[in-house]
Homo-oligomer: A and B are copies of this chain.
């Protein structure tokens, strides 16, 4: 049977539970619309426990931000790892967006809440900008590998193409959450594929005889 938890483990567990509760509540009611008491209650504790683990709401937002963005960057890194061909990268991107789609509404609401909260806090803002940059850099690497595998010269710097794809993902998620009819489950993936093909076509047109 399970070993009794040590104090440190117990504390870590409590923090995790508080973070998960906060993530859910922030997505549902917003950061400002969620009270410390609600977070503690959903996690199965009281306000006292909350203040024992975090200094206040701002600090749990910060912790959540680090936890989530770190995961995101790792996922992006996985896109490029040992990706032999262009199609491998594309296929992984497709799979990633399909998985993401299942929990899109909650995920996007949380991401948006954290973004907005960060906008109003200079320190958090630079932190978020930094994480986004790192995430995009991983995507750019994956793209560079893909183009290289096809011996195609990208029609613009891969960092810029990554910025476009990254932005497109966010923007289309917003539309998709608004209306399933206007932006279906495959929209994002379809758009990515269209852009990839378009860029290949443009590259070919500009450099006719590679």
On A, residues with C-beta under 8 Å from B are 28-30, 32-33, 105, 109, 112-113, 115-116, 119-120, 125, 128-129, 132-133, 136, 155-156, 160, 163-164, 166-172, 174-175, 177-179, 182-183, 187, 190-191, 194-195, 197-199, 201-202, 204-205
Contact A175 B132 (CB under 8 A): yes
Contact B201 A205 (CB under 8 A): yes
Contact B32 A182 (CB under 8 A): no
Chain B hits for A177, CB < 8 A? 119
Contact B198 A120 (CB under 8 A): no
Contact B164 A168 (CB under 8 A): yes
Contact B191 A198 (CB under 8 A): no
Chain B hits for A199, CB < 8 A? 198
Chain B hits for A191, CB < 8 A? 160, 163-164, 167
- Could you pull out 15 A-B pairs where Cβ atoms are within 8 angstroms? A32-B32, A113-B116, A129-B182, A163-B175, A163-B182, A164-B168, A164-B194, A164-B195, A167-B170, A167-B171, A167-B172, A169-B171, A171-B171, A194-B202, A198-B201
Q: Which 3 A-B pairs have the closest CB atoms?
A: A167-B171, A171-B171, A198-B198
Distance (whole angstroms) from the CB of A111 to the closest CB of chain B: 10
Contact B166 A175 (CB under 8 A): yes
Candidates B120, B132, B155, B205; contact of A205 at CB < 8 Å: B205
